[in-house]
A and B are shown apart, each in its own frame.
Chain A
Amino acid sequence: MSAPLLDVEGLRTHFFTREGVVKAVDDVSLRLERGRILGLVGESGSGKSMTGYSILGLVDPPGRIVEGRIALNGLELTTLGQEGWRKLRGERIAMIFQDPMMTLNPVLRIDTQMVEAVLAHQRIPRSAALERCRDALERVGIASPGERLRAYPHQFSGGMRQRVAIAIAILNRPDLIIADEPTTALDVTVQGQILSEMQSLCRESGTGLIWITHDLSVVAGLADDISVMYAGRVVESGPVDDVLDRPMHPYTRGLLDSVPSRNAPGAPLSQIRGMTPSLLGLGEGCAFRTRCSRAVDACRATPAARSPAAGRSLRCVNPVP
């Protein structure tokens, strides 16, 4: 069997701050095959974005990857060094951010920015690069792409800007796209359009996609697999249907139960008590145990990841039956 598109094993990204060590990513393992979509779900501070940045080699001091492997098509990334990583970014791995204005330079025309992204990785004539930019814009549903190429970012609406950011991500036909909450700031009807485009893109080109989000319902419609993160760790993962229909980790279960549409209208929502812990100086043990109704003494030791069923992984000593 060939190597999977992405194989992350035991990744730890820690931040060494003056106040202490923040374990933003703490022993995370992920696997993604070509053309598949992985939903990486968690609340703010769960480490989901930092996992994405780690895969792209975008962790800045005082943070660094202290342990673990990241293999893309069998190629180990953590030993590449900054130069090697830079060659991969935008070529083999691309990123889409929540705010497209983070990706787009406000004072440059779209064509300038897009052509630069092509020529940074390939020696082809400018006209061929422009042609590719036009194709990419068309691919993400932008009408009259030739004309729009000469526009500035502020001349686009929020949804259109996000489309441009996606077009830039697919320019060099990457193997892997990491999308960090790309539709959170968009309206529902525009979100639907972008989800649909990303879905067909992966199916047709074989690009693997990691969709980082706090919204379980988006993942339900989009992803093949799901990994749920809490306080820097993947607490549960598996195929979307399995995890959402039969959640085993009390946190996953609690999140699902608190979604309004799964409660009778007007009835009190089932809620997870307490609040997300600070990652600073988070001690031993399951980080969820203080909020968990199923916590037992054994939760004081950090639970190891185990596989309770084929394709699933779980970090809990007292799972939901």
Chain B
Amino acid sequence: MSASPALVELRGITRRFGAVRAVDGVSLEVRAREVVGLVGESGCGKSTLGRIVSRILEPTAGERLWKARPYREYEGNGARAERLAIQMIFQDPYASLNPRMRIVDIVGEAPVVHGLIAAAERAQYVASLLARVGMDASLMRRFPHQFSGGQRSRIGIARALAVKPLFLVCDEAVAALDVSIQAQVLNLFMRLREELALTYLFISHDLGVVRHLSDRVVVMYLGRVVESGPTAELYAKPNHPYTQALIAEVPRIDARHRAYVPIRGEIPSPLDPPGGCHFHPRCPHAFARCREEAPALREIAPGRQSACHLNESRTP
């Protein structure tokens, strides 16, 4: 493990919605200036976890730490800057901008409200933010409907940057964009990371995008983390059978006329997840213990963790 301290740390985070455990005992660290990719299929709890990190949701159980101190210690006016340090970028660039507000207000409202800038400085401040995300400042009097999907994404990013965050939670931030526009926005994320020393939790179902951007990857399945590790190692040698299947299923440009050998079944309902290891009904290697006992997430190599009973039966 590297020595740089964790900016965000989650310990045993659980979040229930009624009977559903959307997130089930997740522990996770994101170190300063790191990009952590959080991947998984729909319903795995990755978005819920992202919202818990960014304070949009409260966890049912577990502890959240910011710079090694619990989130609750950052309440009150004195800690406002610390609370603003985590911002979120949303998936749908059409739904996450108020259609009745001009860009100058969408981007400039929060920094004025939080006292980062004076109201009189707003236009100038917004202009500098728009320039940073690659947009012309002359567009700030316009409304969201006058922009394309890619431009709206940039506006959403400028809005998050307006309160000078250290940490961005990006929830499927490029999923709605066309391929050629997606590359532009991914490049913007990488450039901003360098320029502003940002840390990202990058949530995506797209394993190609995550591979490109992330230093470390965390894989979730039905509310639990099944594997995590440095990006290159995890993609080269996935340990958990679910990660293996996920990486094998990703369509690739260089895989032509392939005969798909699909993984069995679908993601079970989170209302009634299978006992033991959640993945066992779809796993080609499942044995008796997998049906009874949930495997713990254990270190399998320096910096790598996996939750699979097979790892224990392999070691003497």
Partner-B contacts on A (CB < 8 A) = 43-44, 157-160, 187-193, 195-196, 199, 214-218, 220-222, 224, 240-241, 244, 254-256, 258-263, 265-266, 268-273, 275-276
Contacts and interface: CB of A to CB of B under 8 A. Distances in A.
Interface stretch (B50-58, B62-70, B260-268): B260-268
The 5 closest A-B pairs by CB, nearest first: A196-B260, A258-B183, A260-B212, A187-B41, A217-B251
Interface residues of B, number: 46
A269 B187 contact: yes
Nearest to A185: B42
Contacts of B266: 157, 159-160, 187, 189-190
B7 interface: no
Nearest to B207: A188
Contacts of A266: 190, 212-213
A220 B267 contact: no
B262 A193 contact: yes
B259 A260 contact: no
A189 B179 contact: no
A199 B261 CA distance: 12
B208 A261 contact: yes
A271 B183 CA distance: 6
A47 B47 CA distance: 33
Given A268-B187, A269-B212, A196 B261 contact: yes
B249 interface: yes
B257 interface: yes
A196 B267 CA distance: 18
A188 B249 contact: yes
A222 B262 CA distance: 14
Residue of B150, B252, B256 with most partner-chain A CB within 10 A:
B256
Contact of A265 (B212, B246, B252): B212
Contact of B260 (A44, A220, A221, A263): A221
Interface of B: 41-42, 148-151, 178-184, 186-187, 190-191, 205, 207-209, 211-213, 231-232, 245-246, 249-263, 266-267, 269
B41 A188 contact: yes
A193 B265 CA distance: 9
A273 B182 CA distance: 11
In this complex, the member of A43, A188, A199, A272 whose beta carbon has the largest number of chain B beta carbons within 10 angstroms is A188
Among A217, A224, A244, max chain B CB count under 10 A is at A217
B53 to A, nearest CB: 23
Contact of A268 (B41, B42, B190, B246): B190
B263 A189 contact: yes
B251 to A, nearest CB: 4
A193 B256 CA distance: 16
Nearest to A254: B180
A258 B190 contact: no
Contact of A216 (B253, B257, B258): B253
Contacts of A214: 178-179
Contacts of B207: 188
A268 B266 CA distance: 35
A258 B212 CA distance: 11
B243 to A, nearest CB: 11
B43 to A, nearest CB: 9
B153 to A, nearest CB: 11
Which of B178, B208, B267: most chain A Cβ within 10 A? B178
A269 B183 contact: yes
B255 A43 contact: no
Given A258-B183, A270-B183, A189 B245 contact: yes
B179 A216 contact: yes
A240 B256 contact: yes
B180 A240 contact: no
A265 B257 contact: no
Given A189-B249, A217-B252, A263 B257 contact: no
Contact of A256 (B187, B231, B253, B257): B253
Contacts of B151: 275
B178 A187 contact: no
Given A263-B212, A265-B232, A241 B256 contact: yes
Given A261-B253, A265-B232, A268-B190, 20 more contacts: A43-B181, A187-B42, A189-B266, A189-B267, A196-B259, A196-B262, A217-B208, A217-B253, A220-B251, A220-B252, A220-B255, A221-B258, A240-B257, A244-B253, A244-B256, A258-B180, A258-B182, A260-B183, A269-B212, A276-B180
